Amino acid sequence: MKVTLIAKTQLEWLETSIDSLTQMEVVTPYRPHYGNDLSEIGPLGSHLDELAEFSGRIDYESFGRPNPQTATNKGYVANIIDKQHFSVLEHASATFYIDGVSRNFTHELIRHRHLSFSEVSQRYVDVSEFEFVIHPGLEDIDPIEIHTVLSPAKSVYRTIMDALTKKGVPRKQARQAARHVLPSGLETKILVTGNMRAWRELLPKRLSPTADKEFQLVAQKILVELKKIAPNTFQDFDGD
């Protein structure tokens, strides 16, 4: 199982030079917390956290940061979380590539409808060489015993594919028929994008001890990456 951060929102005026930073301050009333030293961007905060504050301050035009408790980005975003004004978290997003997971997992993942998905298609891809994902709940079971039960399914898949293609059935149609004998524990790969509000909605449900164990492990890995790129947006979640 592997979760890889592929893309995240960046603030345009913090990506190039001091000149562009100064120009953005002319165009908008928002002043980043980074000051005028771009070398401070890394240790002081994240583009995603800044965007959350920027969007929130537009509502009230509180760009002067008059309240000491919300004058820092961490304090401001903490107030957003406390008040649950999560609409301002919808402007920034993160994309993850997740592989080595089961189709059982992705069947649950796609229930989070505010996320966007692109998954390996079993209609277009020959998945006969894909691995079986051993669920964490099966860790005490001998893997050989599990594969003894599951491997015949892939053998039947190949047999059906061969039989249908010999009859002249196009490969896509053959695969979409043959896939019905495959177990839902077969490996898949998926690209998933969500804004920060969508990720905050997913995490409490899937980090819960009552969630499926495979999903819990994926959610833990996602949280680790999100806390790196938006530490203030996820400051109320435990985990490194």
Cα separation, 18 vs 211, in Å, equals 46
In order, the DSSP letters of 125-184 are S--TTPPBP--GGGTTS-HHHHHHHHHHHHHHHHHHHHHHHHTT--HHHHHHHHGGGS-T
This prediction has a pTM of 0.90
**Residue 146, both tokens:** 């599990």
Nearest to 10 by CA among 50, 59, 58, 39: 50
Among residues 179, 197, 200, 206, which one is catalytic?
A: 206
Which segments of the chain have a pLDDT < 50? 36-44
Question: For residue 37, what are the contacts with CB-CB under 8 A and spacing of at least 6?
Answer: none
Per residue in 117-130, pLDDT (tens digit) is 999 999 999 999 89
Could you state, in order of their start, the residue ranges of all structural domains in the chain?
A: 2-95+191-229
Give the pLDDT of residue 103.
Answer: 96
Give the pLDDT of residue 197.
Answer: 98
| CATH code matching the domain that covers 2-95+191-229, chosen among 3.30.1360, 1.20.1250, 3.30.1490, 1.10.287 | 3.30.1360
Give the pLDDT of residue 44.
Answer: 44
Give the pLDDT of residue 43.
Answer: 39
**Is position 206 annotated as part of the catalytic site?**
yes
